[in-house]
């Protein structure tokens, strides 16, 4: 069953794919009528966004795979791999092509070059702003719901679901890019100069480059095994230290496996006086004093202690998962 975060990210991705597909088609039509560099940059921008959001959708679906013999911990990190592929696509296609095209047009431009005065690009960009503004609103709402009680920017920078954040960043930069293209084309139209339009294309390309780097960093840190947030780790540690049978937490490590899924590695010392039955030990000692074979009784005592420690470990793991549902794997070692 999909998690709430997965549903929220999926809703944001689907809305972005539909919205950007319509906007991309409209921008390419407008560019074909004017050959505006900034409008071509925005067309490539929207095309890159659409294709990359399709990759995000594939990542969400792929990451929902159940644990198997080959993947005993599931495929939750698959979405981060697809997100990284998406970031690479944005960098090479979005940043590389649009920046190169803008620089070429700027270097080749002449102040006497004719500039289209068609109002169609301005109309298309205005409609694009409405559509992409709406998809930005949905992405913002999705991230805001997924962050829970964490501060918004802390979740954006350090959260465990870069998919929703990727859509938010793409949509935010898409809206910014539309503004830049609108102003650039308007200035070129009014001044009858090709330079503002070319500069607009370069700015849009640089925006895409910044976004690609941010997404690569966000996904790379999780693929490398980033730990849970400081607050989350502190809450788990405090719970363990207050647990009746735990005498000391020797070591605790966490790793994000998927959005809302943590792996917890523990090394603890149990409080022997709590998990060992004093009455049972006294009965065993009494049997020895009564003349029973000490070897057999000590063997029974040792075997019983193994079962007692095993039951206490199972109980601790169960209580941990009930208290912190995001913990899906517990590796517990008794010191």
Per-residue pLDDT of 97-119, as tens digits, reads 778 878 888 888 777 666 777 78
pLDDT at 1 (0 to 100): 37
Residue 280, SS3 per DSSP: helix
- Could you list the residue range(s) of the whole structural domain that residue 150 is in? 4-223
> Does residue 317 have a pLDDT over 70?
yes
- Which residues lie closer than 8 Å to 266 by C-beta, 6 or more apart? 240, 249, 251, 252, 330, 331, 332, 333
pTM: 0.69
pLDDT at 320 (0 to 100): 93
pLDDT at 9 (0 to 100): 63
Residue 260, SS3 per DSSP: coil
pLDDT at 131 (0 to 100): 81
- Which residues lie closer than 8 Å to 111 by C-beta, 6 or more apart? 193, 194, 195
pLDDT at 10 (0 to 100): 67
Give the pLDDT confidence of 27-75 residue by residue, as tens digits.
888 888 877 777 777 787 778 777 777 877 777 777 777 777 777 777 7
> Does residue 159 have a pLDDT over 70?
no
Domain edge (last residue) among 188, 223, 258: 223
Of 110 and 130, which is predicted with more confidence?
130
Residue with tokens 């523990």: 266
Measured between its terminal Cα atoms, the distance across the chain in Å is 36
Strand partners, 261: 258
Domain CATH for 326: 3.30.70.1350
Same-domain pairing of 192 and 214: yes
Same-domain pairing of 124 and 61: yes
Same-domain pairing of 219 and 274: no
Express as a percent the part of the chain with pLDDT over 70: 92
In the chain, which residue ranges form alpha helices assigned H by DSSP? 4-34, 37-63, 78-89, 98-108, 120-146, 152-158, 162-191, 195-223, 230-241, 272-275, 278-289, 294-323
Same-domain pairing of 263 and 138: no
Q: Mean pLDDT lowest for which of 168-177, 183-192, 227-236, 274-283?
A: 274-283
């Amino acid at each position: 069953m999909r998690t709430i975060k997965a549903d929220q990210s999926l809703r944001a991705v689907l809305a972005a794919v539909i919205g950007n597909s319509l906007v991309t088609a409209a921008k390419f039509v407008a560019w074909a009528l004017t050959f505006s560099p900034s409008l071509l940059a925005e067309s490539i921008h929207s095309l890159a966004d659409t294709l990359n959001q399709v990759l995000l959708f594939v990542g969400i679906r792929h990451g929902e795979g159940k644990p198997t013999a080959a993947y005993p911990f599931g495929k939750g990190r698959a979405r981060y791999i697809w997100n990284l592929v998406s970031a690479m696509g944005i960098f090479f296609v979005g940043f590389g092509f649009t920046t190169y095209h803008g620089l070429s047009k700027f270097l080749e431009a002449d102040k006497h070059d004719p500039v289209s005065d068609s109002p169609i690009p301005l109309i298309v960009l205005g409609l694009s702003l409405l559509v992409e503004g709406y998809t930005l609103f949905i992405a913002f709402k999705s991230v805001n719901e997924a962050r829970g009680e964490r501060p918004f920017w802390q979740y954006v920078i350090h959260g465990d679901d870069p998919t929703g954040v990727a859509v938010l960043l793409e949509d935010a930069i898409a809206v910014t890019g539309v503004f830049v293209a609108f102003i650039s084309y308007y200035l070129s139209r009014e001044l009858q100069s090709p330079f503002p339009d070319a500069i607009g294309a370069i700015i849009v390309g640089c925006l895409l480059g910044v976004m690609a780097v941010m997404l690569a960093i966000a996904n790379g840190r999780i693929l490398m095994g980033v730990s849970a947030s400081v607050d989350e780790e502190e809450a788990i540690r405090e719970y363990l230290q207050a647990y009746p049978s735990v005498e000391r937490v020797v070591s605790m490590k966490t790793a994000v496996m998927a959005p809302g899924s943590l792996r917890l590695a523990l090394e603890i010392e149990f409080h022997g006086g709590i998990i060992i039955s004093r009455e049972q030990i006294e009965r065993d000692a009494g049997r020895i004093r009564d003349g029973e074979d000490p070897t057999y009784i000590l063997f029974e005592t040792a075997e019983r202690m193994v079962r007692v420690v095993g039951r206490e470990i199972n109980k601790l793991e169960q209580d941990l998962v009930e208290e912190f549902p995001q913990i899906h794997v517990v590796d517990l070692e008794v010191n």
